[in-house]
Chain A
Amino acid sequence: MIQLTDIHKSYTVGNKQVQALKGVTLNVEKGQIFGVIGFSGAGKSTLLRTINLLEKPTSGSVVVNGQNMLSLKEKDLRNARKKIGIIFQHFNLLSSYNVFDNVAEILRMNRVPKDVIKKKVEDLLRLVGLEDKANSYPSQLSGGQKQRVGIARALATDPEILLCDEATSALDPQTTESILELLLDINRKFNLTIVLITHEMQVIKKICDNVAIMENGVVIEQGSVLDIFSNPQQQTTKNFIKTIFDDNVPSEIVDNIKQSGPAAKILRVAFRGDAALDPVLGTLSARFPVSTNLLYGSITSIKGTALGILLLHISGEEKDVEAGIQFLRDSVYNVDIVSREGGSN
């Protein structure tokens, strides 16, 4: 649906060249919810805005729905943009229009007949749960309600893609949840492709199928949300995941374990799907003369698949520990040996 290939973007601030994007390649499938996460300044907003060419890349190619966006004339680009909805962190609603007109105005611009507009806007307001607010002005709405108007407006032109530019970053956690539910709902209902950028791992975990992690203008890691959560490779990715699974082991405990014997290790064990329900630890201590101690455990569901993370302290004779770890590797999704210096690397 969306292919971004080797996107570079640089601009000048004062007399300094800033490279916002340094060769980003992404591929978003139809119907997917694709998340891009990164700290502010990572270039994720610039990346999102190259999809509808609000930002023109310095080099690279942007193909949306089979169309090479960079080769389009102004009028064709405008038509292509009508198939790409967008919602914003600060909603960007028209303050002088009421809710109905905020959704209707783009349809009027597109010369849609009046009676069609009326029905369409009413349907959309019902979809986002604001049918009783049609005559309110944005200043009378809460943040969550404003974003719902934003979503209704973005859907007015029947887009195939919805871009979300930090759409929940200005909202409180509860409102964020309800907006994410709504996005998930419209993704399923209309098979709408959604690309969202965020700095909250919670958002990725809740609704995304795939995720790309950005840092300093490059994608440092990408894959399915489940894979990234169960087996993160990059430090930044691990840090983001820690905002959800806070599996930091206090250094005193790491020191204690180090003193308890040369073979003692801390393992980060990831279980996925049905394996999360198997009694692997019981089998481990029954079959190998090692002692295990549970330091941390958490289980969550990512898009319907269970994901469990355990931190285990394992000790015993060196060869038994090795064999035990091998047994774990064969039984569960992923086993990482946490560095002896502390932290889960």
Chain B
Amino acid sequence: MERLAEMIPVFGQSLQETIIMVGFSLVIATLVGIPLGILLVITQGNHLFPNKWIYHTLNTIINVVRSLPFIILMVAIIPFTELIVGTSIGIEGAIVPLIVYTAPYISRLMETALHDVDRGVIEAYQAMGASRTQIIFRIMLREARPGIVLCLTIATIGLIGATAMAGAVGAGGLGDLALRYGYQSWDIEVMVITVVILVVLVQLIQSLGNWAARKLKKSS
């Protein structure tokens, strides 16, 4: 018990590292992923800006990036990471690959969420003379809000999983703690507690996401 009390700062430190990594990567990956998701939808045939070339190029790139396991991706883009943040280790070194890993994931989820917006509704506003930009920003994004929230919830949870592997470049975090103490030193107690913290964190995020989506749906 005493030992666990000593460990509290360690848990705190790791939790903080996880939150920083997830928070940063999530914000930037969302900023990249949402426009890409929109582009994936509107460049399809019959949509607002049909363009085969953009669609197929984007589609292929996203598929390729999403096929790579995170640990491989992280190593593969080390030169790119160094170019962007000047280092390939630590939290900064982990955030770049986390973004590269998550942005395509978010754009795929966004594509699904935006596809759920009724084509008839889009058509109705086209018929009323709304511009394509107005349709994207005032109709599609707004109507897809519940789906977008759920998509970001899934992406956040995926990110938490990926940060566990970021320990490999010395970025720390809860996953790294579980690996070092549990897997490498066979410290069951620390490992179990870390896992419990992770489970609670994931539960909280999922419940929050579900609640927000329900709130937005207004289907009372």
Residues of A participating in the B interface, judged by any CB pair closer than 8 Å: 52, 54, 77-82, 84-86, 88, 90, 92-97, 105-106, 109-110, 137, 139-140, 153-154, 157, 163
Chain B residue with Cβ nearest A77: B129
Query: What is the predominant secondary structure among interface residues of chain A facing chain B?
Result: mixed
Among B127, B145, B219, B220, contact of A86 (Cβ-Cβ < 8 Å): B127
Shortest Cβ distance from B107 into chain A, in angstroms? 22
The CA of A52 and the CA of B126, in the complex, are separated in Å by: 10
Number of A-B residue pairs, CB cutoff 8 Å, is 69
Cα(A85)–Cα(B143), bound, Å: 22
CB of B203 closer than 8 Å to a CB of A: no
B residues adjacent to A (C-beta < 8 A): 118, 120-121, 123-131, 134, 138-139, 142-143, 145-146, 216-220
Cβ contacts under 8 Å, B127 to chain A: 52, 54, 81, 84, 86, 163
A81–B128 touching, CB < 8 Å: yes
Whether A157 pairs with B139 at a CB distance below 8 angstroms is: no
Decide: B218 and A109 in contact? CB cutoff 8 A.
Answer: no
- Whether the Cβ atoms of B145 and A105 lie closer than 8 Å is no
Q: How far is the CA of A110 from the CA of B219 in the complex (A)?
A: 28
The answer to whether A106 touches B121, judged by C-beta atoms less than 8 angstroms apart, is: no
Q: Is the CB of A92 within 8 A of B124?
A: yes
Q: Shortest CB–CB separation between residue B42 and chain A, in angstroms?
A: 15
Q: Which residues of A contact B134 (CB under 8 A)?
A: 109
The one of B124, B216, B219 in contact with A139, judged by C-beta atoms closer than 8 angstroms, is B219
Q: Are A94 and B139 in contact (CB under 8 A)?
A: yes
- Would you call B138 and A109 a contact (CB within 8 A)? yes
Question: Within the complex, which residue of A79, A88, A106, A139 is in contact with B218, where a contact is CB–CB below 8 Å?
Answer: A139
Within 8 Å CB of B145, what residues of A? 96
CA A81 to CA B146, docked complex, whole Å:
30
Give B139's nearest chain A residue, CB to CB: A94
Kindly list 10 other residue pairs between chains A and B, CB separation below 8 angstroms, not including A77-B129, A139-B219: A82-B129, A86-B124, A88-B124, A93-B121, A94-B139, A96-B143, A96-B145, A96-B146, A97-B142, A105-B138
